[in-house]
Amino acid sequence: MAWIKPMPAHPVVAVAGATGAVGAEMLKVLAQRGFPANKVVALASSRSVGKRVAFGTGDLVVEEMQPSSFHGVDIALFSAGADVSRRFREDVTSAGCVMIDNSSAFRMEEGVPLVVPEINAADIAWHPGVIANPNCSTIQMVVVLGALAELAPLSRVVVSTYQAASGAGQAAMDELYDQTADFLEGRTLAPSAFVHRIAFNCIPHIDVFLEDLSTKEEWKMVVETRKIMHAPDLRIAATCVRVPVLRCHSESINVEFAAPVDLADARAALRSAPGVVLMDDPSSKTYPMPALLASTDDCYVGRLRTDPSVPNGLAMWVVADQLRKGAALNAVQIAEVLLGNG
């Protein structure tokens, strides 16, 4: 059943998990985009109570997240992990608050919309009090695929990801910093946030392995893309790799279409697509690179070319900031759509 409670023009917004990397970015995005909140509340676990987190030109005092925290709150942006989201779901929705959840808890639940506003904002209309934010690597891919799907139906997608430490949280980012220094100084490396050392290494393993030998991260890219794009039969193969980059995920994407797609038409479609920047000039060695695009909002596309190995194929390189469009920004954009401002 779709949510029927009207949303006020100036809602009260809570950020759950405000002391984490994504939560902090949500607060930053809310302030930078001038989100018309009547009030913003920072929530976290009991161990963070009393801490101050940056918001706009000032800061907020962190409050403990409890079942009663959502009374009087209209929108709750959750970045506290799947178990926490599941535990607080009923408390949030029974208070008349809409949960926009960044975890994997509800993404594939029937009846819960999984939303990237540039692609399927209309799905928000049937939310049941919960709206799911997709996986970071899925978001940046579907923003680009959605623009290209306007030219011809998609037939097959093959994607290899080069995912930054930011996708594993603040502790993983800290580990990349620390291990890099330790490696350069010849000290012993002790992996903690990752299963292997991340400094000067690539780890082809994100999340758990499944029975078919793919990882759950790879599975997410397949099933989430199909749900967002309303394409249940789209063939997708994904390989997800963690790389020693602090922020911004990169993806090598090969797309096969059901009909011919002219390269010039693809360039034009990407140039005009919301949330996409075509950064592609081989003559000047211009293409997206994660080190140069941290803290940006768009999905950047370069190395666009014909894929001669399949009929009607294109190949490309896509970069986006995991903490921004891959998490915090997409969640805030969903909230903007709820207000009719998206």
User: What integer pLDDT is reported at residue 253 of this predicted model?
Assistant: 99
Q: How far is the C-alpha of 4 from the C-alpha of 179, rounded, in Å?
A: 50
pLDDT, tens digit (0-9, with 9 covering 90-100), for 277-287: 999 999 999 99
User: What integer pLDDT is reported at residue 342 of this predicted model?
Assistant: 62
User: Residue 325: exposed, middle, or buried by beta-carbon count in 10 A (0-12, 13-18, 19+)?
Assistant: buried
Give the start-to-end residue ranges of the domains of the chain.
12-134+327-338, 138-322
Conformational region of residue 149, where left means phi above 0, alpha means psi within -120 to 50, and beta covers everything else: alpha
pLDDT, tens digit (0-9, with 9 covering 90-100), for 249-300: 999 999 999 999 999 999 999 999 999 999 999 999 999 999 999 999 999 9
* Average pLDDT of the segment spanning 240-248: 97
Q: Which helix (H) or strand (E) holds 154?
A: strand 154-163
User: What integer pLDDT is reported at residue 272 of this predicted model?
Assistant: 98
- The answer to whether residue 4 scores a pLDDT higher than 90 is no
User: What integer pLDDT is reported at residue 12 of this predicted model?
Assistant: 98
Q: How far is the C-alpha of 188 from the C-alpha of 194, rounded, in Å?
A: 15
Instruction: Please provide the CATH number assigned to the domain covering 138-322.
Output: 3.30.360.10
pLDDT, tens digit (0-9, with 9 covering 90-100), for 209-243: 999 999 999 999 999 999 999 999 999 999 999 99
Q: Of 112, 105, 93, which is closest to residue 135 (Cα–Cα)? A: 105
Provide the 8-state DSSP code for 222: H
Contacts 24+ apart (CB under 8 A), 83-87: 84/16, 84/17
**Which residues face 154 on adjacent strands?**
257
User: What integer pLDDT is reported at residue 1 of this predicted model?
Assistant: 59
Q: What percent of the chain has pLDDT over 70?
A: 99
Q: Of 130, 39, 124, 133, which is closest to residue 338 (Cα–Cα)? A: 124
- The answer to whether residue 3 scores a pLDDT higher than 80 is no
Q: How far is the C-alpha of 337 from the C-alpha of 274, rounded, in Å?
A: 15
pLDDT, tens digit (0-9, with 9 covering 90-100), for 63-111: 999 999 999 999 999 999 999 999 999 999 999 999 999 999 999 999 9
Query: What values do phi and psi take at 199, rounded to 5?
Result: -65, 125
pTM score, whole prediction: 0.96
Structure-token pair, residue 281: 């000039």
> Which class does domain 12-134+327-338 fall in?
alpha beta
Active site residues: 136, 249
